């Protein structure tokens, strides 16, 4: 979330000279230069890349979310785009309830309530609704669904009984066990591929432009290597192991951390906004301590292992 909150301001600076498609595709292609050499060595990379589920995740969590957010940044400010993330915890918790039928613990409900109050205060101090905000909200809904689908497949994987046979049956079982690095990389590949026609459209219509200046030329590689690549892997790892509602509450830290990042860049402090951010962070801390039984099985059950469960 800390890395994620930094992306809005940097993306807005890159968009001063680069076109939205160039930014969206460029940051992923640079990130893939880091991820692919690492993921290609891991088991199941090619199989994961071929799965329809991976294409859907790439569409929701990469192509739609980042494209809509970057286009939204053309019409609204970076601060407003960051504040619009106030809706993400509610989106994720609601979809988790509808799709996964997750039962929320009291601690999670309290944390979600505090986080929601905090982000409403933050949003109320600076959020204005325009076409940019609407695009960002649609992108956030796509990312919330992406989060829930990550969790859904992980629950299915942990519930699948181990197969002791060989051949096709064993292959079907092991296909569930995908490392976060492998899944994040395969998702990013499909997301980038889906966005390529958009970049081609910009090129044909003459609206495509490369970043220029030290901010643009330095910001795009920074987004790809420091933010996009690690955030994809870390978020996948966490979202597969946490209830969707808790993952959603954790995203409430984005407006608060985004505001803190803006302060570090020289923005004048606002007491009202700082108070809302502090309340949101308290909610995040409360919900982060998940009660017993709300987590998935240990990582070796979730990723690749699981053989000890039948012994």
| Measured CA distances, 51 to 15, 57, 128 (Å) | 33, 10, 40
Tell me what pLDDT residue 38 has. 94
Average pLDDT over residues 104-120: 69
Q: How far apart are CA 108 and CA 141, in angstroms?
A: 21
CB 82 within 8 A of CB 255: yes
| CA distance linking residue 44 with residue 240, whole number of Å | 17
- Asked if pLDDT for residue 55 goes beyond 90, the answer is yes
Distance CA 77, CA 248 (A): 23
Q: What percent of the chain has pLDDT over 70?
A: 68
pTM: 0.74
Residue 259 pLDDT exceeds 80:
no
Rounded to a whole number of angstroms, the CA Rg of the chain reads 20
Specify the higher pLDDT residue, 277 or 297. 277
Reference 88, options 51, 128, 142, 157; nearest CA is 142
Q: Mean pLDDT throughout 131-143?
A: 86
Cα distances from 163 to residues 22, 154, 176, 240, 264, in angstroms, run 45, 17, 12, 22, 53
Distance CA 207, CA 229 (A): 27
Higher pLDDT, 256 or 49: 49
Is it the case that residue 41 has pLDDT exceeding 50? yes
Give residue 156's pLDDT: 59
310 Cα distance to chain centroid: 34
State the alpha helices, DSSP H only, in 179-266: 180-205, 213-222, 229-239, 244-250, 253-264
Q: Indicate the pLDDT class of residue 32, thresholds 50, 70 and 90.
A: very high
């Amino acid at each position: 979330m800390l890395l994620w909150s930094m992306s809005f301001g940097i993306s807005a600076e890159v968009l001063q000279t680069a076109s939205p498609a160039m930014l969206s595709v460029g940051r992923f292609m640079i990130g893939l230069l880091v991820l692919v050499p690492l993921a290609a060595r891991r088991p199941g990379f090619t199989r994961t890349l071929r799965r329809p589920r991976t294409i859907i995740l790439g569409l929701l969590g990469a192509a739609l979310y980042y494209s809509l957010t970057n286009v939204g940044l053309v019409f609204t400010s970076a601060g407003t785009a960051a504040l619009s993330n106030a809706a993400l915890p509610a989106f994720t918790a609601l979809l988790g309830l509808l799709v996964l039928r997750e039962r929320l613990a009291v601690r999670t409900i309290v944390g979600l309530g505090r986080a929601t109050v905090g982000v409403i205060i933050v949003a109320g101090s600076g959020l204005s609704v325009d076409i940019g905000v609407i695009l960002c909200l649609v992108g956030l809904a796509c990312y919330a669904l992406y989060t829930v689908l990550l969790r859904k497949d992980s629950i299915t994987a942990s519930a699948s009984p181990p197969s002791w046979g060989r051949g096709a049956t064993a292959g079907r079982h092991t296909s569930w066990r995908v490392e976060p690095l492998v899944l994040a990389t395969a998702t990013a590949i499909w997301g980038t591929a889906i966005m390529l026609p958009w970049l081609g459209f910009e090129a044909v219509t003459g609206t495509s432009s490369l970043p220029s200046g030290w901010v643009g030329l330095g910001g795009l590689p920074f987004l790809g290597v420091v933010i996009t690549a690690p955030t994809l892997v870390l978020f996948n790892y966490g979202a597969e192991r946490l209830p969707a509602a808790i993952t959603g509450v954790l995203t409430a830290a984005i407006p608060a951390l985004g505001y803190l990042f803006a302060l570090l860049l020289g923005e004048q402090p606002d007491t009202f906004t700082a108070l809302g951010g502090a309340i949101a962070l308290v909610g995040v801390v409360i919900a982060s301590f998940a009660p017993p039984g709300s987590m998935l099985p240990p990582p070796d059950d979730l990723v690749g292992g699981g053989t000890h469960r039948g012994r």
